Amino acid sequence: MEKTINNVHNKTLTNKFLNELIEKNFNWAKIGNLPTSIPALAEQDPNLFGVSIHTVEDESFNAGDYDTPFTIQSISKVFALLQALIDNSEEKVFSDIGMEPTGDLFDSISKLESFNNLTPLNPLVNAGAIATTSFIHGKDYDDKFNRLKELMISISNNPTISVDYDVYRSEKETADKNRSIAYFLRNIGAIKGDVDKILELYFKQCSLKVTCKDLSYIGAVLARTSGFNSLSFSGVEIPSRYFRIIKTFMFTCGLYNESGKFAVRVGIPAKSGISGGILAVVPGKMGIGILSPPLNKKSNPLAGMRLLEDLSDRLNLSLIQ
């Protein structure tokens, strides 16, 4: 069934419109590549392409493979940050993790990968995300994971969210780079504790399965957080300031070293994942979930970004006008 609304900048949002955007952008996926860093993700179907929109008025629009589960990967970094803020404080978290998209001075020519004052650049690059995960509280590592999963379940309103253990094991077996990062972080004092356990928690959070529909629902929740002092999820009162913080990082750092270009072209907070997912939030209006596994050289979903660009253009969604 097709639903139509006319409340988004007076343009019409329909399932048919989303289908047209999928058709228009499908070919972009052909010039992308599946990731090789996690072998299980290289087995994904490159032709999957789905999009869901959930508006703040609770209407939903879907097209393509919107109901196909995939692992959330780096999109989980946003929720680990929220959990870390809940469990600690803004001061504590950002005393060990930076807030800048680039850690270099204005006239620096040093490599983007260099560390600034021996803290990871921001919570959405792997180094910062692993440090963020290490901030999650719990009586043991199962408890830490369950608390994060419960938060995700509560925000997504989907109690069936669970781990894809094939992807989890695949990442665990091949994670030399993330292991190097984590051991280096402990060496510089940015994380404390059992490095292997922290990494396992991080791999598990990345292996949680979601659909475009879940992401769009989560995005709509994030689109509605202003105007409150706090919001209650999984039995916890979360200051709305924390939601503002995670959306700000999505805007400035959500697409790694392509975040600036994405902000110019699309102009809304978003977070990509290496399995091809994108979570996007249009504050006050809607949440968007996208899946298209082939990635560009910066490990962002090619067709998904193009679709978002069209959507933003046609519905005039950019925050910066």
> Where along the sequence are the contacts to ligand GLN (CB under 6 A)?
37, 73-74, 126, 171, 178, 206, 273-274, 299
- Based on CB atoms, which residue is closest to ligand GLN, 68 or 126? 126
Is residue 274 classed as helix, strand or coil in its secondary structure?
coil
Q: Which is nearer to ligand GLN, 181 or 221 (CB)?
A: 181
Nearer of residues 298 and 314 to ligand GLN, judged by Cβ: 298
Task: For the chain, report the end-to-end CA distance as a whole number of angstroms.
Answer: 34
Taking the complex as a whole, the smallest distance from the CB of residue 199 to ligand GLN amounts, in Å, to 9
What angle do helix axes 240-253 and 76-87 make, rounded to 10 degrees? Answer: 140
> SS3 for 226?
coil
Shortest distance (Å) from residue 73 CB to ligand GLN: 3
Note whether 293 and 62 are within 8 A (CB). no
Q: Reduced to 3 states, what is the DSSP secondary structure of residue 11?
A: strand
State in angstroms the smallest separation of the CB of 41 from ligand GLN.
9
- Integer angstrom CA distances of residue 216 from 44, 83, 130, 153, 208: 21, 20, 25, 14, 16
Q: Output the smallest distance, CB 137 to ligand GLN, in A.
A: 22
CB 295, min distance to ligand GLN, A: 9
Closer residue to ligand GLN (CB): 52 or 73? 73
Among residues 132 and 299, whose Cβ is nearest to ligand GLN?
Answer: 299
Q: Is 240 within 8 Å of 228 (Cβ atoms)?
A: yes
Is 222 within 8 Å of 243 (Cβ atoms)?
A: yes
